[in-house]
Copies of this chain bind each other. A is one copy, B any other.
């Protein structure tokens, strides 16, 4: 079995390295880290044990050619690169698994991949790329895999087995869309408000909010929850996401707000990915994590005033 990893930041590199270690034929498709990974391979630092692998490295998909499985770890802000990156990796039966955040990624792939060959995976993992080819695995690592617009089947089971053999805890979902919305009940409040908490400081510091980023007064998850006012917004946003999801037919559980908050309280001063992107001056995953969910909520006729406001604030900060 041949696997191509597309998007070898922290996420793609971590799961790709685990697959590689398990003995599968893995090729990394790289851009900025190509030279380093070609020469030195990939180093994972993890509380579960450090390890090093030397996968095939390519800086162009044509060099890799058709594979059996494409795993996508790209930031969703790079989805416009799909048409250039993905087709050279496909044969008629290639399965494409996107591990990306938010909504719309499978739909984006479905423009040139047969829908029945698309899977989505939700990653519950804390990672940090500390330098080219070197990934710091902080905690967790579980993946939940589902079929695009279909329940899980034998193929999904086989995929989960592949991941488990690579020491990646893996579960299946029969409802990928619902799983995405469940994850959004965390990503929207904690990624979104973490960045929005920066607005006042940024306005005083620079008048606009595009320059002079470090040091950042973005609120980590613990601080958002410790402040009654921000905590209130977290709960309101979760409530809006749940309402939207339900109007779209995804039966999220009643206690999900409490579950997410209790889980987050155990995470300490955690910095969600959007905060890290923001502090680094990188483009934010606004389309997949905020705009598309908001669009779907609107289409379902659900009023989500806090999400509307949050999206507007993030849009302004992005400028």
Is there a chain B Cβ closer than 8 Å to A255's Cβ? no
Is there a chain B Cβ closer than 8 Å to A193's Cβ? yes
Do B216 and A229 touch across chains, with their CB atoms under 8 A apart? Answer: yes
Do B233 and A203 touch across chains, with their CB atoms under 8 A apart? Answer: no
Q: How many residues from A make CB contacts under 8 Å with B? A: 29
Residue among B203, B227, B310 making CB contact with A199, cutoff 8 Å: B203
Is there a chain B Cβ closer than 8 Å to A262's Cβ? no
A205: which B residues are within 8 A, CB to CB? 229, 233, 306, 309
Is there a chain B Cβ closer than 8 Å to A197's Cβ? yes
Q: Known interface pairs A207-B305, A230-B217, A233-B205. Does A197 touch B200 (Cβ–Cβ under 8 Å)?
A: yes
Do B233 and A309 touch across chains, with their CB atoms under 8 A apart? Answer: no
Closest 8 A-B residue pairs measured CB to CB? Answer: A199-B200, A217-B229, A215-B229, A215-B228, A207-B309, A196-B200, A203-B313, A204-B310
15 intermolecular pairs with C-beta atoms under 8 Å apart: A196-B200, A197-B201, A200-B200, A201-B229, A201-B233, A203-B309, A205-B233, A207-B305, A207-B308, A207-B312, A215-B228, A217-B227, A217-B228, A217-B229, A217-B230
11 additional contacts, CB 8 Å, given A204-B233, A217-B228? Answer: A197-B201, A198-B200, A199-B199, A201-B233, A203-B313, A204-B309, A204-B310, A205-B229, A207-B312, A215-B228, A217-B227
Interface residues of chain A, those whose CB is within 8 Å of chain B, are: 192-193, 196-201, 203-207, 215-217, 227-230, 232-233, 305-306, 308-310, 312-313
